[in-house]
Structure 1
Amino acid sequence: MIHEAAIVDPGARLADDVSVGPWSLIGADVEIGPGTVIEPHVVIRGPTIIGAGNHIYQFSSIGEATPDLKYRNEPTRLVIGDNNIIRENVTIHRGTVQDRSETTIGNDNLIMAYVHIGHDSVLGNNTILVNNTALAGHVHVGDWAILSGYTLVHQFCKIGAHSFSGMGTAIGKDVPAYVTVSGSPAEAKTINVEGLRRRGFSADAIGQLRRAFKILYRQGLTLELALQRLETMLRETPEVQVLIDSVRASERGIVR
């Protein structure tokens, strides 16, 4: 399963059925789980742990050291879960000791061509990062979020679960759960209704989230007063609690 033209360091640990294409380089301190396919011309450096069933396409650079000027070759790592698709020319950097010492990718993500995931970022599960999306260091992306092509995310931003960004969005503040943003700088537009429908959210839950969005964004309330009003809705729909929690967890302030 390992092409004769591939270069695999003796210190790497690969499951028996891992496939490695020609001219790919697998460094020391790399662990790759069963069923993972590494196409030609991929570079994977460690310490990096890659789970099962992943597919990494050609010319991607996985687990390289960050260019952050504070980095001094400290022992940090990249951890990738299971069943991720990582397309052509993707770059994913390891963490730094100034944060988590780890960059983390969850499960079942689609990471399209030319995406960059910076140091210490955390990508949840079932996300889609469309071509040329770039995450600066320390970015957290929640489950099921979709970032459209050429989305740029400033360092330390949090992207909420089930949120959506339009093409070319520049995100400099936190995006609450369920919210659709677009523009440069990003502005909140609506609830991600179509995405929620596709994932089986009930019509009642979507309706309540749309009401919550209006309270948060359309009634001219202070953020704290809007949150207080939203908390009165919790008995009606637990999904609103996820929205509230994502807003209260914000440290940079939310996209308005």
Structure 2
Amino acid sequence: MKVLRLENIDAYYGQSQALTDVSIDIKEGEFVTIIGANGAGKTTIMKCIMGLHRPRRGRIYFRNRDITNMEPWDRAALGIGYIPEGRRVFPDLTVEENLRMGGYRIVDRKRLENNLEKCFRLFPRLKERKSQAARTMSGGEQQMLAIARALMSDPVLLLIDEISMGLMPILVNHSLEIVKKLHGEGITVLLVEQNASKALKAADRGYVLETGRITLQDTSENLRNNDEVIRAYLGA
């Protein structure tokens, strides 16, 4: 079953076209990445999926349901979790308050508390700092918090925008290991990432985005061995 499908998406900022005829599909249980240079349009794709930017043309489907004109909070309620570029934690809220914000739509208190404990098991550091203001945490800790906050809503699909931004390589590797673990537990993942090497090593399949257009799609292994991808993105 296809969890997500984008059909012929065009997106603009004013008169400037950011995406042109973008079509993507993701099957349930896949780990898919979109790689591309800074400014290629990767974040715009994520914002279109989440409803934070409306495409001028094309349709977006989640589990065969047309969500093109749906509000962002309703998309989240369907099971789409979002880790935005730059983490975007609530700086003056504590770690626990940030997490509870992630599960704000959950009315079953027991489920909410179970999800909180699940996040603390996955990220023991967050439990240690649950009463600490998010702004006082390191970049790596804030990345953990952003991931955990997205998990509080029990997402079916996890959207991750630039997991490596502002992090030391060791923390990028740690974050990707956590994402791979979540994928192994059944969450479908879409990762957009400028660090093509790390993204293609983590994902099953990938798309290459250049100046708002999808130019290649293949298995991650084939993309890692593609001469064009090697020259443009893998440093050869």
Structure having the higher helix fraction is 2
Larger C-alpha radius of gyration, 1 or 2? Answer: 1
Is this a same-fold pair by TM over 0.5?
A: no
TM-score by length of 1: 0.27
